[in-house]
Amino acid sequence: MEEIIFVDKPSGMSSFGAVARVRRILTQREGHKVKVGHTGTLDPFATGLLILLAGKATKKAPELTKKDKVYEATIRLGATSTTGDPEGEIAETGAAIPTREEIEAILPQFRGEIQQTPPAFSAIKINGQRAYKLARAGKDVEIPSRTVTIYELEIMSYEAPILKIRTHVSSGTYIRTLAEDLGKALGCGAYCTDLRRTKIADYDIAKLPLFELPA
């Protein structure tokens, strides 16, 4: 068999959990174990498009990884999270909440090529181990900064302190880090409360036949 599978991952499920569910369903359907791989993960709290490859299609992984992506994110201003998302320890900063005009004024510095340091709680490997495992163990995690590209960054809505953005980014860009960096630039702190991936390259979740995942 050879299949490209499009999944709308729900919040609370890991990407590897989605892979396992798809593998189980296909294995039952085919009557033998089916190899299933992913072309890029999503954080457990995030929702949206995952592209999975089954059977011989797994050979196409290099063609489908490292693609541009589009996200819609909800950012809470005036507070921080130890993980950059709702799964961490949340702390109010007590700083003044910026106006929409103040937010618009700092957005240009986040468009184009920028330097970004991925979060410690991420799947990046450090000396062969996942960074998030080291972070959870209380170990210091040093991840070098990288150059990423923000092709588009726009405000969808703003009802202080809740900011909703849409952004088109290069592969390797962390939206949790973008949220935190926006908060630092505004002087109030911020973290990502909701995140949804709507596109990978030309694959638009609204126009794709989606594989139904069991609960």
Domain ranges of the chain: 2-66+201-207, 69-200
Cα 27–Cα 31–Cα 36 angle in degrees, nearest 5: 25
Residues shown for the chain: 215
Q: What is the pTM of this model?
A: 0.91
Give the tens place of pLDDT for each residue, 26-49.
999 999 999 999 998 999 999 999
Q: Which of 8, 43, 85, 181 is catalytic?
A: 43
Residue 109 β-bridge partners: none
**Residue ranges of the alpha helices (H) in 70-174?**
100-106, 131-136
43 among known catalytic residues: yes
- Classify domain 2-66+201-207 at the CATH class level: alpha beta
Residue 70 is predicted with a pLDDT of: 98
Q: Which CATH number is correct for 69-200, 3.40.190.10, 3.30.70.120, 3.30.70.360, 3.30.2350.10?
A: 3.30.2350.10
Residue 55 β-bridge partners: 2
Give the tens place of pLDDT for each residue, 147-197.
999 999 999 999 999 999 999 999 989 999 999 999 999 999 999 999 999
**Chain mean pLDDT for the chain:** 91
